[in-house]
């Protein structure tokens, strides 16, 4: 399959690469733990983008204007998002999501949710939690191969496994299960989570173009779960439009495809994730 070119034109790729290389020169996440003040430019860059919480509420407000069905679907997705975060404050938002689903026209509840998310987001930017947010980004950056990984991301049009890929397993040999999930971007890295109807969860990071939030739902075709969970999966995803917008995710272990997730997507995420990784667990 031919994969579309990664749309990175809205980023200044050379300046982004310079900043990423300077992160490595300064010592990366290990140095950040010792002295966060060495990374003020990185903090400023990430704080200039919306927090996950702000992106989620923006998407919810947009869905409310589109249609009741879209709104209800996004409520389900953002509840999954909240459930995936162990922060006590974020967990407290779930009852508000429930109330919104029952009363989709309750603007006051949506305003309350937005205000609470604003408080959480300010803590993400300027409070003690800021350090956790930046450290999470730095560790994800390193896990994706650092600045060299980013260079490959902006230069390539194919998933990393494609060049050495062994013969992929025929999709007829897959077990198919319903799945849903979401992706949220912070600057140039996307965080993704996938939940399946048979109680498995995959989560990890991928290079992205750093804009937006996307919820998705569809069908996952996969090899046996013991194989899927035996190692970190490389993941590549791309968005296509054929009448409706849908997103295809391909998963690989050691160059061999082990799963495919075909989804309908709803969101404003401009992006093709590349050279990412995801780990599966039983929920």
Q: Is the pLDDT of residue 1 over 70?
A: no
Predicted confidence band of residue 106 (pLDDT cuts 50, 70, 90) = confident
Q: Is the pLDDT of residue 135 over 80?
A: yes
Predicted confidence band of residue 251 (pLDDT cuts 50, 70, 90) = very high
The reported pLDDT for the residue numbered 270 is 46
Q: Which domains does the chain have, with CATH numbers?
A: 13-48+128-153 (no CATH), 52-126 (no CATH), 159-282 (2.40.128.480)
The 10s digit of each residue's pLDDT in 47-76 is 877 777 777 777 777 777 777 777 777 777
Beta bridge partners of 267: 214
Q: How far apart are CA 264 and CA 247, in angstroms?
A: 6
Which of 95-99, 116-120, 250-254 ranks highest by mean pLDDT? 250-254
Distances in Å between the Cα of 109 and the Cα atoms of 99, 114, 178 are 8, 9, 31
Q: Which of 32-36, 107-111, 126-130, 149-153 has the lowest mean pLDDT?
A: 126-130
CB atoms within 10 A of CB 7: 13
Q: Is 70 exposed, middle or buried (0-12, 13-18, 19+ CB in 10 A)?
A: middle
- Centroid of chain to Cα 225: 22
User: pTM of the full predicted structure?
Assistant: 0.71
Of 207, 156, 158, the C-alpha closest to 183 is 207
The 10s digit of each residue's pLDDT in 17-26 is 899 999 999 9
More reliable by pLDDT, 165 or 220: 220
């Amino acid at each position: 399959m031919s994969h579309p070119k990664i749309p990175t034109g809205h980023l200044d790729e050379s300046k982004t690469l310079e900043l990423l290389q300077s992160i490595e020169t300064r010592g990366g996440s290990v140095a950040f733990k010792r002295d966060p003040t060495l990374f003020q430019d990185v903090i400023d860059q990430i704080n200039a983008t919306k927090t996950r919480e702000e992106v989620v509420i923006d998407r919810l407000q947009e869905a409310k204007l589109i249609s009741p069905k879209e709104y209800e679907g996004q409520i389900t997705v953002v509840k999954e998002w909240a459930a995936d975060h162990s922060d006590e404050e974020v967990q407290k938002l779930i009852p508000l999501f429930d109330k919104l689903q029952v009363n989709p026209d309750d603007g006051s509840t949506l305003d309350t949710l937005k205000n609470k998310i604003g408080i959480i987001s300010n803590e993400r930017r300027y409070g003690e939690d800021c350090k956790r947010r930046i450290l999470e980004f730095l560790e994800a950056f390193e896990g994706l191969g650092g600045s060299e990984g980013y260079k490959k991301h902006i230069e390539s049009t194919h998933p990393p496994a494609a060049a050495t890929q062994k013969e992929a397993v025929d999709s007829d040999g897959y077990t198919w299960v319903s799945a849903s999930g979401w992706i949220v971007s912070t600057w140039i890295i996307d965080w993704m989570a996938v939940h399946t109807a048979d109680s498995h969860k995959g989560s990890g990071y991928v290079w992205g173009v750093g804009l937006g939030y996307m919820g998705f739902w569809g069908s996952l075709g996969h090899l046996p779960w013991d194989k899927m969970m035996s190692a970190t999966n490389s993941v590549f995803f791309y968005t296509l439009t054929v009448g409706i917008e849908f997103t295809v995710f391909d998963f690989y272990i050691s160059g061999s495809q082990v799963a495919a997730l075909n989804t309908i997507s709803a969101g404003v995420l401009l992006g093709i994730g590349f050279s990412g990784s995801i780990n599966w667990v039983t929920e």
